[in-house]
Amino acid sequence: MTDQNLFTPYTLGALSLSNRIVLAPLTRNRAGEGFVPSEFAATYYSQRASAGLLISEASQISQQGQGYQDTPGIYTQAQIDGWRKVTDAVHAKGGKIFLQLWHVGRVSHVALQENGAAPVAPSALRPATKVFVNNSFEDVSVPRALDISELPGIVNDFRQGAANAIAAGFDGVEIHGANGCLLDQFIKDGANVRTDAYGGTIENRARLLLEVTAAVVAEIGADRTGIRLSPVSPANGVTSSDPQAQFDYIVDQLDALGIVYLHVVEGATGGPRDVAPFDFGALRQRFKNTYIANNGYDVELANSRIDDDKADLIAFGRPFIGNPDLVERLKTGAPLAAFNPATLYGGGATGYIDYPTLAESSAVAN
């Protein structure tokens, strides 16, 4: 037992965090022309800079990596410049922010791909899931299997994306290895039926994730590199026959690389924590650096996990949408505001930067 809780400071690598609350990545589909972050993004993130650590919405490392309309990228100079406005605004408020690096793989649509090409995947298996495209949710397109000769290019896109993130002023990056996106597709045998060096065994299915992580670490340093995993989440149609053995192996390898944190979706993304049997404590024990726990946490559960040394930081997602001052609300026990689901994906300032803080609500009431 310790005397730590959500609201105590924490040291993450070389960074001093003001508390143990993390803004989880939240896709909001508001990027502008050229997939540059929205003109409102700097305000949105700086409003939430009281969190100990902010993790940006997922940002594609290439056009091929895009799976939803109007999501920002990190592969052009204009995108780097757009993100610089965000990091400057967050740092001006004393916040710390990582960029999430994203390649969606098969969770995409031909309308988003260059020249209407098929999305790519470890295997040509179409998941039963939808993406936000053409201002509505549509079934994903049929993917094609990546040739083994294409994989070094994807590794390099992640590496370059990390370099670009640092150029944009981010404090580090989070590799998106979760929620049925490309790296998770390679990991899980329900999406990966390859018979080459990237399929079949636990080691082979982990290979691309580990190559990407090693390349990012070599580019920007282990103390600036985190990763997100979702061992049992069925998000975007992925399944695994051996999640415990698979992720025990992966975490052992990530620990050896010395990355600064492991961000784990415990259970189904945005759903039940007990969706499938899994010992998340085993991952915590195998990983010597920071463990960020995610999924369905409230203050009581968060504090108990931190106090029992079962987690170091706790990520909150959707509660941050309608509550830019979520840290203060959690600390004081104030009620949480609901967000408007109609403005969750796409649009402009409405439903994005116009949710009031407690102080602002109080001023209006008075």
Q: What is the pLDDT of residue 271?
A: 85
Closest CA to 257 of 279, 292, 289, 284: 289
194: pLDDT confidence band, cut at 50, 70 and 90? very high
Cα–Cα distances in angstroms (integers) from residue 147 to residues 128, 161, 185, 201, in the given order: 23, 22, 15, 18
Quick: pLDDT tens for 209-265: 999 999 999 999 999 999 999 999 999 999 999 999 999 999 999 999 999 999 999
- Which residues partner with 72 through β-bridges? none
The per-residue pLDDT for 267 is 85
pLDDT top residue among 362 and 115: 115
Asked whether the predicted pLDDT for residue 88 surpasses 70, the reply is yes
Q: For the segment 29-54, what is each residue's pLDDT rounded down to a tens digit? A: 999 999 999 999 999 999 999 999 99
Residue ranges with strand state E in 178-276: 225-229, 261-265
Instruction: Report CA Rg, the chain.
Output: 19
The topology (CATH level 3) of 10-365 is TIM Barrel (3.20.20)
Going through 18-170 in order, the beta strands assigned E by DSSP cover 21-23, 53-60, 97-102, 120-121, 130-133, 136-139, 144-145
Alpha-carbon separation of residue 81 from 59, 66, 87 (angstroms): 14, 19, 10
Q: Is 316 helix (H, G, I), strand (E, B) or coil?
A: strand
Say yes or no to pLDDT of 346 above 90: yes
Residue that the structure tokens 């790296």 belong to: 183
Q: Residue 276 has what pLDDT?
A: 84
Q: pLDDT value at position 345?
A: 95
Predicted local confidence at residue 361, as pLDDT: 81
| pLDDT score, position 1 | 44
Average pLDDT for 335-339: 95
Q: Per DSSP, what are the bridge partners of residue 177? A: 229
Predicted TM-score (pTM) above 0.85: yes
Q: What pLDDT does residue 268 have?
A: 87
Provide the 8-state DSSP code for 73.
B
